[in-house]
């Protein structure tokens, strides 16, 4: 569903979000309700809040790099269909429709101010899950797990979705042994095939980078097993 005014667009799923969607992006209100249950630091602070239906992650879109130090959280407005929060909300719904394990989107908000906009997103928090960096710091994964990662990435690519930041921080493993993909900002559908190889190379670089930085429990032969999973017949 949508709430539309002249300068604001809110998309939300009424089955998942029972709170008033016009107020659910204000972290101060979640504090007043004693519903803030944690946080995570990255480009900015992601707040974990307890809604009436599930635990969710609230993220304000922020720029990175040198430009982010100057502009912080403003983006040039070139049309509602190109807004990052709306694109990510819709993409998550699309991936869910394909049966790909990603967080369920609860709501997105975009506020336009002239030629710029600011945006927020509220999505499901995957409970009892850790990213692969945290997992591999303490334990190695067996061959079957790497094959499952390969199969998951192949399913993403078969849906013609390129994860523009496919790395092992954005792959989660929950306590049931299920893998999840997160953080789909600036991601989207693509035609052709060449980008799929580039996407895999990005993932391989992330394994190698964390191995050199933190000595995660990973070796090159694990990548070959992952690739076997990727190329398994459907």
Q: What confidence tens digit (pLDDT) does each residue in 8-56 have?
A: 999 999 999 999 999 999 999 999 999 999 999 877 899 999 999 999 9
Is residue 91 scored above 60 in pLDDT?
yes
The arithmetic mean of pLDDT across residues 158-185, rounded, is 97
165 is annotated as an active-site residue: yes
Give me 43's structure tokens.
């480009």
Rounded to 5 degrees, φ, ψ at 22 are -75, -15
pLDDT in tens, 186-221: 999 999 999 999 999 999 999 999 999 999 999 999
The arithmetic mean of pLDDT across residues 77-85, rounded, is 95
Number of helices (H) and strands (E), helices first, in the chain? 7, 13
Is residue 67 scored above 60 in pLDDT?
no
pTM of the model: 0.94
Rounded to 5 degrees, φ, ψ at 57 are -110, 125
What structural domains and CATH numbers belong to the chain? 2-124 (3.30.200), 129-230 (1.10.510.10)
The arithmetic mean of pLDDT across residues 131-154, rounded, is 97
Residue 65 pLDDT level (bands cut at 50, 70, 90): low
Per DSSP, 31 falls in state: H
Is residue 75 scored above 90 in pLDDT?
yes
Of 146, 158, 153, 209, the residue nearest 181 (C-alpha): 153
Q: Which of 73, 165, 174, 185 is catalytic?
A: 165
Give strand ranges (E) for the chain. Answer: 2-4, 8-12, 36-41, 45-50, 55-60, 75-76, 105-113, 116-124, 129-131, 161-162, 171-174, 179-181, 188-189
């Amino acid at each position: 569903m949508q709430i539309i005014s002249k300068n604001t667009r809110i998309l939300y799923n009424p089955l998942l979000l029972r709170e008033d969607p016009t107020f659910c992006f204000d972290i101060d209100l979640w504090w007043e309700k004693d519903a803030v249950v944690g946080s995570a630091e990255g480009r900015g602070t992601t707040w974990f809040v307890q809604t009436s239906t599930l635990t969710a992650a609230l993220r304000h879109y922020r720029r990175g790099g040198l430009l982010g130090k100057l502009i912080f959280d403003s983006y040039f407005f070139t049309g509602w269909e190109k807004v990052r929060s709306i694109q990510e909300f819709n993409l998550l719904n699309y991936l869910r429709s394909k049966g790909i394990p990603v967080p369920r989107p609860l709501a997105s908000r975009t506020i336009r101010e002239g030629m710029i906009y600011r945006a927020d997103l509220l999505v499901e928090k995957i409970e009892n899950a850790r990213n692969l960096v945290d997992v591999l710091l303490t334990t190695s994964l067996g061959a079957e797990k790497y094959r499952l990662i390969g199969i998951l990435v192949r399913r993403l690519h078969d849906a013609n979705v390129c994860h523009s930041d496919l790395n092992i921080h954005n792959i989660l493993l929950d306590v049931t042994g299920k893998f999840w993909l997160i953080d789909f900002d600036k991601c989207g559908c693509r035609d052709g095939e060449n980008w799929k190889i580039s996407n895999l190379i990005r993932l391989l670089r992330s394994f190698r980078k964390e191995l050199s930085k933190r000595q995660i429990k990973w070796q090159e032969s694990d990548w070959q097993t992952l690739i076997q999973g990727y190329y398994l017949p459907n």
